[in-house]
Amino acid sequence: DTGVSQDPRHKITKRGQNVTFRCDPISEHNRLYWYRQTLGQGPEFLTYFQNEAQLEKSRLLSDRFSAERPKGSFSTLEIQRTEQGDSAMYLCASSLREQGRQTQYFGPGTRLLVL
């Protein structure tokens, strides 16, 4: 499968624990996005990387959240001191400018449940 991959697919953790998710984008894509999706809602933008540079962070991304893309390839999203409100699907997407549009291709997501 040459699409966007995410690991793990599911994570159950206790409140207060730290969790880290990984995203591997499509190999030639230089742009990488993280979104959060809660039940019955559309994905909400969290943060964006162009190559290794993190260029925008949403107000949704509290100081407990940190994301990295150290070599401009895979990315990690870490949540420290998890809270029950962090329970959601975390989606990663990547894109490459083509024909003047920015089509984003999504990974399967990591579903987080905080108990």
Partner 1 sequence: GENVEQHPSTLSVQEGDSAVIKCTYSDSASNYFPWYKQELGKRPQLIIDIRSNVGEKKDQRIAVTLNKTAKHFSLHITETQPEDSAVYFCAATAYSGTYKYIFGTGTRLKVLA
E-only strand ranges, 1-115: 5-7, 10-13, 19-24, 31-37, 44-50, 53-57, 65-68, 75-79, 88-95, 104-106, 110-114
Least Å distance, CB 81 to partner 1, is 26
The encoded tokens of residue 16 equal 């207060």
Q: Which is nearer to partner 1, 57 or 80 (CB)?
A: 57
Binding-site ranges for partner 1 (CB under 8 A): 4, 31, 33, 35, 40-45, 48, 55-56, 91, 95, 100-109
Least Å distance, CB 98 to partner 1, is 12
Q: Which is nearer to partner 1, 30 or 76 (CB)?
A: 30
Question: Strand pairing partners for 95?
Answer: 31, 104
Least Å distance, CB 33 to partner 1, is 7
